Structure 1
Amino acid sequence: MHYILIADDNEQISSIISEYSKKEGYTPLIADNGQEALDKFNEFSPDIILLDVMMPIMDGFEVCREVRKKSNVPIIMITARGEDFEKIMGLDIGADDYIVKPFSPGEVMARVRAILRRASKDNDDAQIYKYDNLTINLDTYTVTINKEVLSLTKKEIEILWTLAINKNKVFSRDNLLNSLWGYDYFGDARTVDSHIKRLRAKLDKYPHTNWDIKTIWGVGYKFEVNQDEK
């Protein structure tokens, strides 16, 4: 049985998305506050979570942080129109995508399908990549430098993997957006920049003199290695 957790204190929104999700073959779990959302996550281990930012008892950000301590389940944050800081915050703490109110239920389900397709492909293609002191394990979604485990989000790991296995190859923002978020993603290239910025900040806490993520101005990004280490 495939569960979709819908966490929103707006009963009308939850009801509509619930009906649409049933048509897609999912069993909806409804939560109208953050604590209930976390409880149902722990009990049912849903396949994907739709998480409203503004909820009573515990807001969506706090729920997302708690979920990310133990799971890489896909999370779509639901934010208020025009609140860019909510989108940035959601992505920063580990959300896979965001959707802005008001929205159409069809758009929501399109994003759900896209994210779950990518999640399924990730599972099929899971591998381990090692370079110098870096190890990326897509079986467990972990990254280590000098055997120290980094605290990275699922999307940050996917970006690092994509760049690293293609060392010294330049990826444009659109390349990364399309390959990691999908052609049917509704965001823009700034999403890539935000993730790269946060990923670099985390990597820079550890020594990695033989490799780095470099910006190619006007083009995109690459995983650059020292000539002697190619």
Structure 2
Amino acid sequence: MLNHGHVLLVEDDVTLADWVKEYLVEQAFQVTHVERGDQVMATFELCKPDIVLLDVMLPGVNGIEVCHLIREVSTVPIIMLTARADEFDEVIGLEAGANDYVIKPVRPRALLARIKNNLIAVTAPQAEQVELNFGQLVINQQSKRVVYQGNEVELSTNLFSFLWFLASQAGQVVERDNVFKALKGREYDGLDRRFDVMLSTLRKTFGDDPQNPKKFKTIWGKGYLFVEDAWQER
């Protein structure tokens, strides 16, 4: 029997959860549903899902905290479900380690496309081992390992992919549209700020002053720049 993957659906709105589950089962997914945030980790360990659909507002433990807990043990793709279209949920959710987010009311085809895109991103065949070295920074594509100043840096799958994409084009301005096409499989819509948020997270991770960045620069109206010579020991 065809099986496109196992989805862990975390949603306290039972009506919404029922139709999402029914729709995804029709699309050949296996779905496990839990209603409370404090039920997630035990269920996660048992079912070992391929992807998580995670509501932001949950009883027990909220979705942002659940996202943090999952990220402590796994890089599985996480799509946040939020009823709020404001920037707060977007920024906090992505910084917590979510790969994507969907604003309610959920549209079935759009949700399915997001699920498939995120699954493709983690199951696509990887290239032969390639390692990038920039002074104190070492990035290994095959092992998904990042070492900075002699210390291993833990990054989510999403952040690693973004870092690798920028670093592989070090010294060149990478346009937002090219980032979206390469990492999300679609064009930049002019509104989505997820990669701005990720760049901010990378700056925090590598101690790059957001007011005067040296390592990761935003080129207004164009895109992003990974500065090749900013990683040397000082």
Q: Scaled by the length of structure 2, what TM-score is found? A: 0.86
Task: Give 1:126 shift.
Answer: 6.6
Are residues 1:39 and 2:39 paired? Answer: no
Task: Give 1:95 shift.
Answer: 0.1
More helix by share: 1
Q: Please give the secondary structure, in 2, of the residue aligned with 1:103.
A: coil
Q: Which amino acid aligns with 2:150?
A: K
Aligned residues: 223
- In structure 2, which of residues 83, 88, 92 is the aligned counterpart of residue 85 of structure 1? 88
- In structure 2, which of residues 24, 28, 44 is the aligned counterpart of residue 21 of structure 1? 24
Quick check: 2:81–2:102 contact (8 Å CA) kept in 1? Answer: yes
Which structure 2 residues correspond to residues 116-127 of structure 1 after superposition, within 5 A? 116-121=119-124, 123-125=125-127, 127=129
Task: Give 1:27 shift.
Answer: 0.9
Query: Moved runs in structure 1, 4+ residues, more than 4 A?
Result: 184-187
Give the superposed CA RMSD: 2.4
Counterpart of 2:169?
A: 166
Counterpart of 2:191?
A: 188
Task: Give 1:6 shift.
Answer: 0.5
Quick check: 1:75–1:95 contact (8 Å CA) kept in 2? Answer: yes
Q: Which amino acid aligns with 2:224?
A: Y
Tell me, in whole angstroms, the C-alpha distance in 2 between the residues paired with 1:30 and 1:69: 21
Cα separation, partners in 2 of 1:46 and 1:187, compared to 1, 3 Å: farther
Tell me, in whole angstroms, the C-alpha distance in 2 between the residues paired with 1:180 and 1:137: 18
Tell me, in whole angstroms, the C-alpha distance in 2 between the residues paired with 1:73 and 1:199: 19
Are residues 1:175 and 2:178 paired? Answer: yes
Tell me, in whole angstroms, the C-alpha distance in 1 between the residues paired with 2:188 and 2:47: 27
Cα separation, partners in 2 of 1:107 and 1:175, compared to 1, 3 Å: same
Task: Give 1:7 shift.
Answer: 0.4
Tell me, in whole angstroms, the C-alpha distance in 2 between the residues paired with 1:88 and 1:110: 22
Q: Please give the secondary structure, in 2, of the residue aligned with 1:176.
A: helix
Q: 1:63-97: per-residue Cα shift (whole Å, max 9, x none)?
A: 11110001100000011133321121110110000
Quick check: 2:176–2:188 contact (8 Å CA) kept in 1? Answer: no
Q: Please give the secondary structure, in 2, of the residue aligned with 1:168.
A: coil
- In structure 2, which of residues 47, 53, 58 is the aligned counterpart of residue 55 of structure 1? 58
Q: Which amino acid aligns with 1:35?
A: D
Counterpart of 1:222?
A: 225
Tell me, in whole angstroms, the C-alpha distance in 2 between the residues paired with 1:186 and 1:78: 20
Tell me, in whole angstroms, the C-alpha distance in 2 between the residues paired with 1:184 and 1:112: 17
Tell me, in whole angstroms, the C-alpha distance in 1 between the residues paired with 2:30 and 2:50: 10
Tell me, in whole angstroms, the C-alpha distance in 2 between the residues paired with 1:71 and 1:170: 32
Cα separation, partners in 2 of 1:36 and 1:126, compared to 1, 3 Å: farther
Are residues 1:99 and 2:99 paired? Answer: no
Q: Which runs of 5+ in 1 are unaligned?
A: none
Q: Which runs of 5+ in 2 are unaligned?
A: none
